[in-house]
Structure 1
Amino acid sequence: MGQGTDVLVLGGAGVDTVVQVPSLPLPYADSYMIEHGIETRAGQTGDFVALGLHALGLRTHHLDLLGDDPEGDLVRALHRDRGIALTVVPGPAGTKRAVNLVGPDGRRLSLYDVSRSRPEDRFPESTVRELARGSRHVHVAITHPCAPALPVLRETGVPLSTDLHDWDGENPYHEPFALAADVVFLSTASLADPERTMRDIARRGRAQVVVATAGAEGAHLLADDELIRVPAVTPPAPVVDSNGAGDAFAAGFLFGRLSGEPLRRCALYGAVAGAHACTVPATRTAPLGRDALLARVAEPEPVIR
């Protein structure tokens, strides 16, 4: 099969209910009056990566389990309206969902409903193999049931990336993803020693590149045993919500990588896309487009060293 897709995104489809709260942590009270409303919209990590890649001009295909429920209809409509190819495997437990509490400073606390995944759920191997072989790259979300698909993906020889999110470096659930991917993204939020974890991933697994994002402090890039500091990029507008910033970073980085750019340039693309995402309310889906990204990158920014 020819490569008709630039990136296959595996997993991470779902629906979030977004609540803007007066503070985080939220002190206990019998009730709160939510002035900005409570909104439910399609979009979790895989959706956001797919949207970001598509906005940057990459041919993107998304594969995941969805339920025959209103939440699944929201996810289907999001992809249909944005023109992103979506292959759906029936999910008997229903569509994945979460509640996101967003503070005034843009910080987020997510409550994931893990009851929507059953241990016996699987992607058909033939579907995974066919879609992967028709792609230049596969980005794998850490949602169930992506882990059982990793051996099939590795057999295809297609390069893989994954995002471990706020992994603490020890939780065994994340290890299959960390060790199978060629490009590994993660957050420093739960890491006592980010460099040690990054080097451990590279030493034990297949990763050629490990990127640890650190929010307003920028990011760290490990490649060829060299640790590179990636400065934060100034957001183009006030920060309102950090939800999806890591997904935007991954999309920007992968856009650079698939365009043949040097790693430092890829990291800059990711930083610019991530900074933009922080200026977009969680109730909207407005990823940075290719022209805007390239224009923003052309502006003076701190040198990556």
Structure 2
Amino acid sequence: MELDVLVVGGAGVDTIVRVPGLALGARETVSVEPIETYVGHTGHGVALGCHLLGVPAGLADVIGEDDEGFRIRQLYWDLQMPLYFVQHPNGTRRSVNLVTPDGERLSFYDGRLPAGLRVDPELWRPGISQARHVHVSIMDFARHALPDALAAERTISTDLHDWDGRNDYHRDFATSADIVFVSAGALPDDAVSWIFGHGRAQVVVVLAGSDGSYLHLPGEPPKHIPAIQLPDRPVVDTNGAGDAYVAAFLARWLDGVSWYDAAQAGTIAGAWACGSAGTHTDLITAEELAARNV
């Protein structure tokens, strides 16, 4: 099977707890709505988002031989999406996300895999050989897929999430990718210029939540893409909005549209994702995106 996008790393299981607020005080017990679990995390969100947008996508990852790992495998089987995996005794990544009524969240992430993990590169090489584009999540083991993607002359994207512009952990990803996504939260003013000066990035997209996003191209002032609200989908949960943005951006860019139009598509997809409870439970489809003239 040919792929448009191979995602390396970043699947897990999310437990979503809907709480009245993130400041819970010293209470011993808080009554909440039913607690639900979902297959989620950043790499899965990008792969699933691309798939629902009609872009053939697969995932290469390290999971556990546990119930959570089985759940991921079953979902990819049901969706008929390629899943390349190896199993590790530490188990499958998990997180517990507290979500407020207005969609704000706080995530407790259990990455499980040991730092410095190396796996057989045959985990991702078959997918890279078939893919047009490789999205590499910032899992420690996944950085070792970057040289193979470069050697295969594939375009590469990554999401640095809340990088502070200084942490060395992120630098391999930042300097190897053609398309770099990063959160505005902890980003210093000089970080984008550092990425352009030290790497191969063609574009850097800074995601700023309710403030929208900023499209940076070399030698040009940043373009602000305001966030939007979809009247029929009020915000109930921001889990997975960034992943939805990335997926739609990649899907439209691979269709040949401009960086700006790709960012507009990402904006709509991110807003759409905020309108459903849970993680990646209702990502936008190609038909729904086209209906909004993107």
TM more than 0.5? yes
> Structure 1 21/261 Cα, relative in aligned 2: closer, same or farther at 3 Å?
same
Contact 1:272/1:297 (CA < 8 Å) preserved in 2?
no
Instruction: Give deviations 1:38-59, integer Å, cap 9, x for gaps.
Output: 1122111111111100000011
For residues 55 and 225 of structure 2, what CA distance do their matches in structure 1 show? 24
One-letter amino acid of the structure 1 residue matched with residue 224 of structure 2: R
For residues 51 and 233 of structure 1, what CA distance do their matches in structure 2 show? 22
Worse overlay, 78-87 or 206-215: 78-87
Residue in 2 that maps onto 1:30: 28
Residue 212 of structure 1: which of 206, 225, 248 is its match?
206
Residue in 2 that maps onto 1:168: 164
Taking the TM superposition and a 5 Å limit, the aligned residue runs for 1:85-96 are: 85-96=82-93
Residue in 2 that maps onto 1:18: 16
One-letter amino acid of the structure 2 residue matched with residue 81 of structure 1: D
Instruction: Give deviations 1:88-143, integer Å, cap 9, x for gaps.
Output: 111221111111111121011111113x1023533322342232121000011112
Aligned-partner SS, 1:33 = coil
Instruction: Give deviations 1:240-286, integer Å, cap 9, x for gaps.
Output: 01110000000010011100001111010100101101111115611
Contact 2:40/2:280 (CA < 8 Å) preserved in 1?
no
Taking the TM superposition and a 5 Å limit, the aligned residue runs for 1:174-253 are: 174-193=170-189, 196-226=190-220, 227-236=222-231, 237-253=233-249
For residues 188 and 99 of structure 2, what CA distance do their matches in structure 1 show? 25
**Cα distance, 1:148 vs structure 2:** 2.4
One-letter amino acid of the structure 2 residue matched with residue 224 of structure 1: P
2:42 maps to 1:45 = yes
For residues 109 and 224 of structure 2, what CA distance do their matches in structure 1 show? 32
2:136 maps to 1:133 = no
Instruction: Give deviations 1:116-173, integer Å, cap 9, x for gaps.
Output: 1023533322342232121000011112311222222222211100001111111221
For residues 284 and 210 of structure 1, what CA distance do their matches in structure 2 show? 24
Contact 1:129/1:156 (CA < 8 Å) preserved in 2?
no
Unaligned ranges ≥5, structure 2: none
2:109 maps to 1:117 = no
For residues 16 and 151 of structure 2, what CA distance do their matches in structure 1 show? 39
The share of aligned pairs that are identical, in percent, is 45
Residue in 2 that maps onto 1:56: 53
Residue 148 of structure 2: which of 152, 172, 178 is its match?
152
Residue 272 of structure 1: which of 244, 248, 268 is its match?
268
For residues 218 and 192 of structure 1, what CA distance do their matches in structure 2 show? 17
Contact 1:269/1:297 (CA < 8 Å) preserved in 2?
no
2:3 maps to 1:8 = no
Question: What is the count of residue pairs matched by the alignment?
Answer: 292
For residues 235 and 199 of structure 1, what CA distance do their matches in structure 2 show? 33
Unaligned ranges ≥5, structure 1: 299-305
Aligned-partner SS, 2:214 = strand
Aligned-partner SS, 1:296 = coil
- For normalisation by structure 2, the TM-score amounts to 0.95
**Cα distance, 1:31 vs structure 2:** 1.7
